[in-house]
Chain A
Amino acid sequence: MAKILYIDHEKCTGCRLCELVCAVSHDGISNPARSRIRVLKWEAEGLYIPMTCQQCQDAPCLNVCPVKAISQDMELDRIRVDYNTCIGCRACVSVCPFGAMNFNTTDRRVLKCDVCDGDPQCVRFCDVKAVDYIEAGDVAIIKSRKAAKRVSDAGNSELNI
């Protein structure tokens, strides 16, 4: 069973180490503009949300690609770009609903998360595991458990327990 990147933004401390290690591990360069994961911030409220490719099942980037350079890799449950075929038209960048398909203006090519071929560096370096790499089927149960706890807490406080 393939794993997916699971982001729990509540845990994110906003340090952006994920951006640094993503750029360095892929390109050997420090530059957040090269990162496949980005931490969006609302500093005035202390809100930090890491965003990256959702590896969609019905991926708009894949559907829109005029040269079929984008494909689904079932083994790693990811959407990948074949750079030998890619013509750099950026149609994928414009249709991605998450802004996760990026374009590097130095190398003049698109970039997206490739889950580091199964060993995502953002996860490896994130101490609080705001970004984690887990079985796709486990996501819902983790969220359910959290929601259940919230419901329980809310009930307890209402009953003044």
Chain B
Amino acid sequence: MALNRKIAYIDLSTGDVQTRPIPLEVRKKFLGGRGLDAYLLYNHTKKGCDPLGPDNALMISGGILTATCASATARTHIMAKSPLTGMLGSANMGGFFAPELAWAGFHHLVIKGKARNPSYIYIHNGEIEIRDARDIWGQSVTDSQWAIRQELGDEEVKSCVCGPAGENLVRFANVMTGVKNSAGRTGMGCVMGSKNLKAVAVRGTMDLEIARPMEALEYNKKFIDQITSAKVNQTQGTLGTPFIWGATNSWGGVRTRNFQYNQCEYADDIEPERIDEICEETMGPHHMTGCFGCQVHCRAQYKIPEGPLAGKYDEGPEYTSLGAFGAETDTPRAVTVLTGNHLVDQFGMDNLETGSLISWAMELYELGIITDKQTDGLDLSWGNDEAVIEMIERIAYRKGFLGDALADGGIPASKKIGKKSFDYLIQVKGMSNLHSDERATPALALNVATASRGSDHLRSRPAIDLYHLPEEVLRKIYGNPIPYDGPLSSEHTEYVGKPWQVFWQENLYMGVDCLGICKYHTVFLGVTLPTFEEWSKVLYYNTGIEMTPEEIWNVARRCNMAERLFNLREGLKRNDLEKGDMLNHRYFDEPCRRGALDVVGKMIDKKKFSKMVDELYEHQGLDKNGVPKPETLQSLGLAKEPSHLL
């Protein structure tokens, strides 16, 4: 059963492998997935450890419900100290890796040390071996996975790999599985590369008993019906995440030309319907695909329709690639987006970070802060499609001054470039912001500023704040499982009540990440989707663990606090522009220039923003500096960390 899935400790320097059961008391405190990884990270790394050194610990895990009879338990979580931010490194991906890991007997891997030669780990029904990867090193994300299958003579092997970007220590390299599933933030692929670890390959046929199989099956049906009946998921299932991009761009929430505009004009060629047309033309009418067990099937299949890579197969492009290679760089052309998306997938590199840094460099080029000398003659003018494609490759292979500088991430690059370049860098904690523009949405601005892994939209974003839901509906959602009678506002340009929404979403997303379920199956984009109450049942039917919705909420709070403790240990300071819960000055100084009437002219009020941070800290049990109060740690059972339970 799920509870007998083990944790393995693998030391690549010595070749030592140890496996242990995960005690029930640890499960009840952290469940699994990202939450337990956060605990492991804090316990298995020392303060100030070099993210690219052998002492950094790389965690790979599935959630406690992975491969059980619960919907879309496909998520694989990766955690380590981030080589991009120097703080929490954490990334999550769909696909089929985590379930296979569970069928191979494991839920959590802790990988330390550094292999002498390029290596990969092979896990097969409880057995773990470290194998030579010298022949595979240098290969693309997909080629390396198929090569491993060929070497092992098993087409059912699932691997997570780092691509050339990870090998070249690009600090925002992904860990990837399948054609495009990407654990794509904070540079977890770079950590793999630094350990000479090309891949983790798994194959499992071990029984995973379901505690109450028939009840689990029937409840799963209900759960799935709840998920597929949501209009937002039906739209995701036909247009994929580009639909969110189209919707966001329509009202003026998409960063364009780095941060100059908040809406991409002349974008017909990358609107979701146009992307869908290309997918249909190249892959036929049934071109949507899904992750393990998921009925949302939000991932499109396509072939690049024209250009130098015409005919290449890939999946996506997601919301982020449209922003990264379309809007931010002002190159709203389908072929550029689809080609850029394919390249980052093959190199194994974060599309979001890549596009954001290229658009930052384009703005610096426009301002004369960088010139043809730094670009080696490449014309980095806005809208230059070829330059965008060229820069992707330069970054992945660290070519030229600029490719090499950007491969180190925004803050180190700004130090090399100098001349106020940092002022134009749209980042939090050293990680680039998503292409979305939060100047008109204080709740979302608070979310990106305070997210645990640096600027991020998947850690605490109250996306439903944009729907202007009636207050009584908001109360119903945000008042469970913990009562809340403070202010709430239906207005997305407001500041009141938003800290509670961010706090609630932070715990919701941590909960779903501990279970190993996709965020599209909870209140992220849809308001009617399962949350703590449903999770309590699904957890019981599948694992036999009895936990109330409140208890799951408390686990989520504990795990979020473990992440906070790690960040504080590694230098988080509230208002620090490089390592704090703070936004770039442009959020406070430059008003939105495009979009809907209630968006034009909007920017974030710094005083009100600061008050929101105060309130959020209060909800989280932190003091004014963002440090947990002793009683908070006491109540969450984290007063004596590291406690080395595992």
Contacts and interface: CB of A to CB of B under 8 A. Distances in A.
A15 B221 contact: no
A71 B321 CA distance: 55
Contacts of B602: none
B210 A17 contact: no
A26 B94 CA distance: 27
A21 interface: yes
Contact of B213 (A28, A106, A125): A28
A125 B220 CA distance: 9
Interface string A33-61: 11000000001111010000000000000
Contact of B207 (A45, A106, A124): A106
A11 B207 contact: no
Contacts of A43: 142, 178-179
Contact of B283 (A24, A46, A121): A46
A10 B284 contact: yes
A134 to B, nearest CB: 18
Given A29-B209, A44-B313, A16 B292 contact: yes
A45 B313 contact: yes
Interface stretch (B294-302, B421-429, B544-552): B294-302
B209 A28 contact: yes
A13 B96 contact: no
A40 B294 CA distance: 17
Contacts of B287: 46
B96 A16 contact: yes
A4 B208 CA distance: 30
Contacts of B285: 10
Contact of A13 (B221, B288, B313): B288
A30 B67 contact: yes
A30 B146 contact: no
A101 interface: no
Given A16-B96, A44-B142, A30 B291 contact: no
A128 interface: yes
B103 interface: yes
Contact of A30 (B68, B96, B228, B289): B68
B235 to A, nearest CB: 14
A17 B213 contact: no
Contacts of B290: 13-15
A29 B217 contact: no
Interface in B266-307: 283-295, 297, 301
B69 A24 contact: yes
Interface string B187-223: 0000000000000000001111110011011001100
Contacts of A135: none
B337 interface: no
Contacts of A110: none
A10 B283 CA distance: 10
A30 to B, nearest CB: 4
A43 B292 CA distance: 13
A24 B67 CA distance: 11
Given A15-B293, A33-B205, A46-B289, A20 B103 contact: no
B295 A127 contact: yes
Contacts of B217: 21, 24-25, 121
Contact of B206 (A14, A20, A31, A45): A31
Given A21-B217, A24-B210, A24-B216, A30 B142 contact: no
A125 B221 CA distance: 7
Interface string A95-116: 0000000000110000000000
B350 interface: no
B286 A29 contact: no
A46 B205 contact: no
Nearest to A41: B155
Contacts of B388: none
B295 to A, nearest CB: 4
B32 to A, nearest CB: 15
B67, B220, B290: residue with the most chain A Cβ atoms closer than 10 Å: B290
Contact of B146 (A10, A44, A105): A44
Interface in A104-150: 105-106, 121, 124-125, 127-128
Contact of B205 (A12, A31, A45, A128): A31
A121 B213 CA distance: 13
Contacts of A21: 69, 217, 220
A24 B212 CA distance: 10
Contacts of B345: none
Nearest to B213: A28
A127 B294 CA distance: 9
B315 interface: yes
A16 B209 CA distance: 18
Nearest to B100: A32
A120 B295 CA distance: 17
B213 A32 contact: no
Contacts of B289: 13-15, 46, 48
A126 B141 CA distance: 30
Interface of A: 10-17, 20-21, 24-25, 28-34, 43-46, 48, 105-106, 121, 124-125, 127-128
Given A10-B285, A29-B207, A32-B103, 11 more contacts: A13-B297, A14-B289, A15-B292, A15-B294, A25-B217, A28-B210, A29-B208, A44-B179, A46-B283, A46-B289, A46-B313
Closest 8 CB pairs of A and B: A28-B213, A15-B290, A33-B205, A127-B295, A13-B297, A30-B208, A13-B290, A46-B301
13 contacts: A13-B290, A16-B96, A17-B292, A24-B216, A25-B217, A28-B213, A30-B210, A31-B207, A31-B208, A34-B207, A46-B283, A127-B224, A127-B295
